[in-house]
Structure 1
Amino acid sequence: MNRRGLLATGLALATPGLGWAKERGMIINALGGIENPNLALARPPGDKTVPRDMDIDARALSDLRTAGIAAVNVTLDYVAGPEDPYETSLKSIAAWDAVLAAHPRALVPVRSAADIQAAHDQGRTGVIYGFQNAVQIGEHLERIAEFADKGLRVIQLTYNPANLLGDGAMAPENRGLTPLGHQVVEGLNAARVMVDLSHSGERTCLDAIAASRAPISINHTGCRALCDLPRNKTDAELRGVAQGGGFVGLYFMPFLARDGHPTAGDVVAHIEHALNVCGEDHVGLGTDGDITGIDDLKAYQAHLEREVADRAAAGIGATGERADTYPFVADLRGVGQFEKLAGLLSARGHSQARIDKILGGNFLRFARDVWGG
C-alpha cells in the first residue's frame, strides 16, 4: 500500500524543444509525484484497479513540461500494508519501467546526475526511483545491490513507525539506529544509493548521520523549530546533514503550520530557517506533491477523509495530518508552484543564484557526490 499510486497509459508527447529547458534554471523535486490526481477522483470510491501513483496521462506529462521539472524522486511500492514488501517492490519497479518505456520522449530513467542534466537539456523529466521504507531489504543485505542494479537511487530507512533498522518519527521510544540499520547504511554507501532520513525519529537520524561514510539526505521535511511536530526535523538533524555535505528538501505539507493549513509564506519561512541552519548549499525542495493540480477540491475532500482514515487504521499516519488538512499548500500548487515560490524568494531579497540552488542546483550537486556522473 503506497501513499501515492501509478499507471502506464501508452500515450507519448511530441519531442519538446530544447528552448523550453534552456530558458529557465533547473527544477528538481527531491520527493514528489508525476500523476494526474484527478483521474483517481473520477473513479468510484474504493476502486483500486489503478494504483494512484500511475495515473499518468497526457495532461500530467504536459504539466511536467510546462512546469519545467528536470527530475523528480518518485516513491515506489512498498510503504506499508499486508503485501509482501519485497515482491511488491519488484512488481512496482517493473511497472515503472513500463511507464518510462511508454513515454521515452517525455520521461527518462535517472541512474546518475548526468541523466538529470541531460533530461533538463532535452526538455524531458528524469524519474528517480526511490523507496520510502527499507523493509523491502529486511535482513537480506544482498538486496541492496539487487535494487541498485534495478535502478533504485534513493532508499529511506524508515517510514513513520519503527522497523528493523530504526525508529520512525511516530515511534514514541525514539530509539536509534539498530545494528542491522548500521549494516544497511554501510551497504547503501557501498552501492552509491542515497540514504534518506525523512520520516525517521531524531535519534535514528543522528545515528545514521554519524554512521554514513557518504553524504545523506532528508528529502522531504519541515523545520521543527518553526512547527513542533514529529515529521519535522530538529536543528541538530538539519545541521548534521549539512555538515556532512548532504541535502535537505522542504515539503509543501500540513506539518509546516500548527493549524495544518500552511500558506506559501510558511514554505518560505521554513526554507529561510533551513538556510540559516544549513547554509545555502544544502537546501532544496521535496514537495511530496504532484504538479497537476486538483480541479475539484470539494470532491477531493471526501477522498482525503478516506485516505487519512485508512492511514490511521494502518498505523502509518502522523501527528498533524487530519481529514481537514490538505497534503499540499493550497496557494502553492499546480504547474506554476515553483515559479511562484521563486518569485516569493526573490521578493524576500534572495539572489537568483541562491534561488537556482534551492530549486535544483543543490540536489544536483548532492547527486553527483553520491551517484557520480
Structure 2
Amino acid sequence: MSTKLGQGKKKVYDGYTSFQYLEAGVDYKEYKLSKQNDRVTPYVYSLSEDEEEQVQQILEEDYIVSMHEHTFIMPENLLDFFEFRRQGRDWTGYKALSESGLDVVFENFMDGTAMVTSMAGWKWSDVIHDIGIRYSDIAHQDLLIKAERISDLYRAKKEGKIAFVGALESSTMIENELDRLDILYGFGIRTMGIVYSEANQLGAGLREPNDAGLTVFGKQAVRRMNKLGITIDVSHAGDQTSLDTIEESEKPVTINHAGARALWDTKRLKPDSVIKACAEKGGVIGIEAAPHSTITKAHPEHNIESFMEHFEYVANLVGIDHVAFGPDTLFGDHVGTHDLLAGQLSIKSAQMPGLKKVEYVKGLENPAECMPNIIRWLVKKGYSREDIRKVAGGNVLRVLEATWAK
C-alpha cells in the first residue's frame, strides 16, 4: 500500500528558493508563507504495491501535463494578502514542484488578482509587472524551463526539468489594443482566455446575465491569437461567447479548467453543447479542481471522487481524446482565498444549495498532489496505459502542436 508522495524520476532541483539572489528586508518585505506539500495532511490515493509501481512507471516514462495551475505560494496569514499582492512579488513552490511528477505546467500567474495599482485587477501594467517579476525569478533557477516553443516541452522531460507555460485566464488587460497580444506573446504568454467572469471588449463572461457572444473586436483578437500561436481558452466565457470563439478560431480551442454542468448546475461549468463544440474542433477539456467547483449530486463534498466523476462524464460524452486535467490549485489556503476574493473572482458556488463546504479538496490540494493522485485513480479503475497516456498529457500536447508556432 502506497504512503509516499515521491513521483517518478526525480527532477533536477538544487534547493533554490524564490528571490534568493536578493536580500530580504532590503530588496523586499518578507512575509511568512504557507507550507507547500504539507499545509494539510498529505493525501496519497491508496493502491496496492503493484498498482503503485505502475503509477511510478507512468510518471517516469509518459508526459504529465497540468493544463491550469497557480504555482505561487500564498502568505500563511490571509490578512496579509492585499498588502502582499501590492508588492507584486510572488514566490514559486519550486521544492513541491520538483516532487510533483509534472513535466509541463500551465502557470496562470495572479492575472485577475494582480493588484499593484488597482484592487479591481486585470490592469495592463499590473499584469505585465506580475509576469516580469515571476520570469525574473525563473531566470535565476534551473528546475523550470520557460516554454516558448513545442521543442521546449519535450526537452524539459529529457533534461529532468519542468516546462513552464505562461498563461492568462482572460484578455481583459489588452482593452482595445490588439497589438498587446503580440507584446504578451513576446513576454512568453502562450495561452489566453477570451474573457473572465465579467464582460470585456472581446465578449461576455460566465457571470453576465446576457451573453451576446463574441464581439467584432473579439473576432479580431481570435484571428491575431491564431496567427501568433497563442492557444485560445474559453473556461470563463459565457456559453454563446464560447461557441462563437470555437467557431471563429481556425485552430482548436481549449476549456482548460472546468467541468460538466450536467452534473452540477452552475455557470462555472460547461453545458454539453459547448463541450461537444470544443471537442469537434479538435480541442480538449481540462477538468477543474478548485474548491467547490467540480462537485456532483452523488458527491456533494468536493474531493477526488467528484472531480473524476466529471472526468468520466466528459470522456463518455466526447471521447477519451478530448479530455485532460487543469486542476487550478495553488500552495496555500485556497478556500480561504476564495472567501477573501469572492467579489473579484465572482465566486458564489460555496453558497449553493446542496453543496457541502470543505476546508480543502482531499486528494487535489495543491499542484504537487494533483496529477500523481489522478494517475493513481486511473490505474485503480483499470484504465489502459494508452488512455492514461492520452489524458495525462498526450491530448494537451496534440492541441499545442496544432496551435503554437513551430
Question: TM-score per shorter chain, which class?
Answer: 0.7 to 0.9
CA shift for structure 1 position 372? 4.3
Give me the whole-angstrom Cα distance separating, in 2, the residues matched to 1:207 and 1:328. 35
The 1:333/1:79 distance shift into structure 2, 3 A limit, reads closer
Paired residue secondary structure (1:41): coil
- Corresponding residue of 2:134: 96
Aligned to 1:371: 404
Report the Cα distance in structure 1 between the residues aligned to 2:295 and 2:121, rounded to whole angstroms.
34
Correspondent of 1:181 among 218, 221, 224: 218
1:1-80 to 2 correspondence within 5 Å? 8-10=18-20, 23-37=60-74, 40-42=75-77, 45-46=80-81, 48-49=83-84, 54-56=90-92, 60-79=93-112
- Partner residue, 2:339: 308
- After TM superposition, give the deviation of residue 21 of structure 1 in Å: 9.8
- Deviations 1:35-63 (CA, angstroms, capped at 9, x unpaired): 334xx11575446235698222xxx2122
Q: Which residue of 1 aligns with 2:38?
A: none
Which residue of 1 is the match for residue 197 of structure 2?
A: 160
Matched, 1:111 2:121: no
Out of 329, 332, 338, the position equivalent to 2:371 is 338
In structure 2, how many angstroms separate the alpha carbons of the residues matched to 1:130 and 1:205? 18
Task: Choose from 390, 399, 404 the match for 1:357.
Answer: 390
Structure 2 CA distance for partners of 1:89 and 1:361, relative to 1, 3 Å: same
Structure 2 contact 324–392 (Cα < 8 Å) conserved:
yes
C-alpha displacement of 1:277: 1.8
> Greater CA deviation, 157-166 or 325-334?
325-334
**TM-score after normalising by structure 2:** 0.77
1:241 and 2:294 aligned: no
TM-score normalized by the length of structure 1? 0.84
Tell me the SS of whatever aligns to 1:265: helix
The residue number in structure 1 matching 2:348 is 319
Q: Output the amino acid matched with 2:342.
A: R
Q: CA RMSD in A?
A: 2.7
**Which SS does the other structure have where 2:112 is aligned?**
coil
Alignment-mate amino acid for residue 89 of structure 1: V
Contact 1:75-1:132 within 8 A present in 2 as well: yes
Instruction: Deviation per CA, 1:310-338: give whole Å up to 9, x if none.
Output: 332x4x31331459845952233353432
Q: Following the alignment from structure 2 to structure 1, what is the Cα–Cα distance between the partners of residues 364 and 341?
A: 26
1:168-214 CA distances to partner (integer Å, 9 max, x unpaired)?
11111122111111111111111110111011110000011111111
> Which of 258, 274, 281 matches 2:321?
281
Identity of aligned residues (%): 23
Could you tell me which runs of 5 or more consecutive residues in structure 1 were left unpaired when the two chains were aligned.
Answer: 1-6, 12-18, 295-299
**Contact 1:22/1:121, CA 8 A, preserved across alignment:** no
- Partners in 2 of 1:204 and 1:152 — Cα distance? 22
In structure 2, the CA distance between the partners of 1:325 and 1:121, relative to structure 1 (3 Å rule), is: farther
CA distance in 2, matches of 1:137, 1:327: 35
Aligned residue type for 2:399: F
Which residue in 2 is equivalent to 1:4? none
Whichever residue aligns with residue 363 of structure 1, its letter is V
Q: CA deviation at 1:77?
A: 4.5
Count of matched residue pairs: 343
**Mapped contact 1:224–1:233 kept (Cα < 8 A):** yes
Compared CA separation, residues 350 and 84, structure 1 to 2 (3 A): closer
- The one-letter amino acid of 1:248's match is I
Q: Write out aligned runs for 1:219-298 (5 A).
A: 219-253=256-290, 254-257=292-295, 261-290=301-330, 292=331
State the distance in 1 between where 2:313 and 2:276 align: 11
Where structure 2 has 5 or more consecutive residues not aligned to the other structure, the ranges are 1-16, 22-55, 114-118
Change (3 A) 1:310 1:34: closer
CA distance in 2, matches of 1:33, 1:52: 15
2:260–2:270 CA contact under 8 A, matched in 1? yes
